[in-house]
Structure 1
């Protein structure tokens, strides 16, 4: 699986402003609504329900919020870079500015887990995180995230 298997160009935004974790997740839900055709309130509630279990702030300024949503037939992703990091109750207490949200069909099972693992693995790369924090538009963010596909393909 490549990030571009779940992430479309219209699912990338940044830098955007948010003043809290809640506001950041609302922004993610609004962006996801455009690509998923599901009301942003439903998406937001799914994200918040998951956050109640434990924070999806995985450390290093990265969060990977996720939710299973009725009506989806495949995995979808949304990436948002915040202009200013927000407290996400991350495991390392570092505020989050890079958010890669995943949305799965209700019956996704192991596919959902594989996607979460892939996103986490890719965003652990310091060089990618640094590059994502340096660019100032969604096209450049998408291109950087798309490099994962290009590098994996050329290495094969």
Structure 2
């Protein structure tokens, strides 16, 4: 599995503002709800339950909030670069500015771990993370995250 199988260009956000972790997760859940046609009341509680098990702030300014849902048919992601880093209770206690929301089908088994590992490898690579932080726009952020370039229409 590759990041471009999980992430669409329309699901990349640059300069997202959030007042805190809960507000960020709610914003991302609403965006996923709109994109997938799944009630936000199903997505947000699943994300919060996962965060209650331990922060998905994996360190180096990166967070990978994720959840499994019965209503998700295939892995789905949203990549957000935050305007201002925020406290995400990350394992290294550093603020987070790169967030990749990942929603997976409930019965995905090993696919869940593979998708999560794929995204984590990409975003935790120091060179990739630095490039993502320096991307000028959504097109650049998507291209760097997936390794695929887009052209403006």
Instruction: State TM-score, norm by structure 1.
Output: 0.90
Residue 41 (structure 2) aligns with = 41
> 1:103-143 deviations in whole A, cap 9, x for unaligned?
11111111001111111111121111111111243222112
Q: Structure 2: 5+ residue runs without aligned partners?
A: none
Residue 95 (structure 2) aligns with = 95
Once the two structures are superposed, the pairs formed by residues 112-151 of structure 1 within 5 Å of their partners are 112-147=112-147
SS at match of 1:10: helix
Cα displacement (A) at 1:42:
1.9
Once the two structures are superposed, the pairs formed by residues 62-81 of structure 1 within 5 Å of their partners are 62-81=62-81
Q: How far, CA to CA, are the matches of 2:74 and 2:37 in structure 1? A: 13
Asked if residue 4 in structure 1 is aligned to residue 9 in structure 2, the reply is no
SS at match of 2:8: strand
SS at match of 2:9: strand
Asked if residue 31 in structure 1 is aligned to residue 44 in structure 2, the reply is no
CA-atom RMSD in angstroms: 1.4
Q: How far, CA to CA, are the matches of 1:54 and 1:104 in structure 2? A: 18
SS at match of 2:51: helix
Q: Structure 1: 5+ residue runs without aligned partners?
A: 151-156
SS at match of 2:140: helix
Q: How far, CA to CA, are the matches of 2:129 and 2:88 in structure 1? A: 17
Cα displacement (A) at 1:19:
1.4
Asked if residue 60 in structure 1 is aligned to residue 54 in structure 2, the reply is no
Once the two structures are superposed, the pairs formed by residues 10-25 of structure 1 within 5 Å of their partners are 10-25=10-25
Q: How far, CA to CA, are the matches of 2:88 and 2:28 in structure 1? A: 14
Q: Is the 8 A contact 1:15 1:136 kept in 2?
A: no
